[in-house]
Amino acid sequence: MDSRPSTSTATQMKNQKAPLQSKLFKDPIYDYIEVHRAALLIIDTPQFQRLRHIKQLSTVHYVYPGANGTRFDHSLGVYHLAGKLVRCLKDKQPELGLTEVDCLCVELAGLCHDLGHGPFSHIFDQQILPRLEVNHSHETLSVKMLDYMYSMNNNQLKQELQAWNITEQDWEFIKSLIICEPCERSTGREKTNSFCMTLCRTKKVEMMLTNGTICYEIPTTLGGKYSTWARMVSVKHSFDYERVLHYARVITDEGRPHICVRDKMVNNISALLYKIQSA
């Protein structure tokens, strides 16, 4: 007896496609970026898609024609780097207690950290918003945009993310990571996982030596941002983010956890800091 399904049944099975668990993006800097389904739910929104039309380097493309990278490209890169770093820490230091949901929260924060950018990127922050008497950073606007997306369409995005175990507490943690401080409904994870704050930080850069180890707070966004800048304006650099990921560890100094690397990385990191400050 033929156990194969009938033609009509086979056609129905073929048409019933299972939802994608992840999707690959081909990136000019990081090659292939695998994006989690929960992140795709955000990427597919009109609010995130608008980042395709916002230049990362604002009006620089008028001088450097190759500087056409967008906030969309940059956000995918930060998603990728933040995810790689936090998962390296999770695998190498199980005592940190990082969960898969923690890693996903860091990735989503990296993905959404620039949602609040307006036209012309930072020119909008520095020139337009003050004239409108809007006293908000783009990080704060990113959080406001996220809250709007989370609740729109009868909480559709909220319900879909909950299917991937993203709870209300996780959502607050994601927002805390973006603005680098506890939100109004703080869950406490901002303290226990405070080193995660540096993964999406965009402004503060610190470095100090502790017992032969460099304790630093170099945001993932700057690593991805500078790699993009360098490619677009043809500036050469020697920063090797893969090496940083390999040596990264969390060490507590004076009661505060830091993401650290070996002292042999000092030249590599110093070169990055110099390039960022002189760019």
- Do residues 261 and 247 lie in contact, with contact meaning Cβ atoms separated by under 8 Å? yes
**Rounded to an integer, what distance in angstroms lies between the CA atom of residue 142 and that of residue 30?**
24
The β-bridge partners of 23 are: 35
DSSP tag of 70: B
Cα angle vertex 71, ends 69, 77, to 5°?
85
Q: Quick one: tokens of 240? A: 């090797």
**Rounded to an integer, what distance in angstroms lies between the CA atom of residue 148 and that of residue 100?**
26
**Rounded to an integer, what distance in angstroms lies between the CA atom of residue 114 and that of residue 143?**
9
From the list 138, 237, 246, 258, the catalytic residue is: 138
> Does the annotation count 138 as an active-site position?
yes
Q: Please identify every residue annotated as catalytic.
A: 138
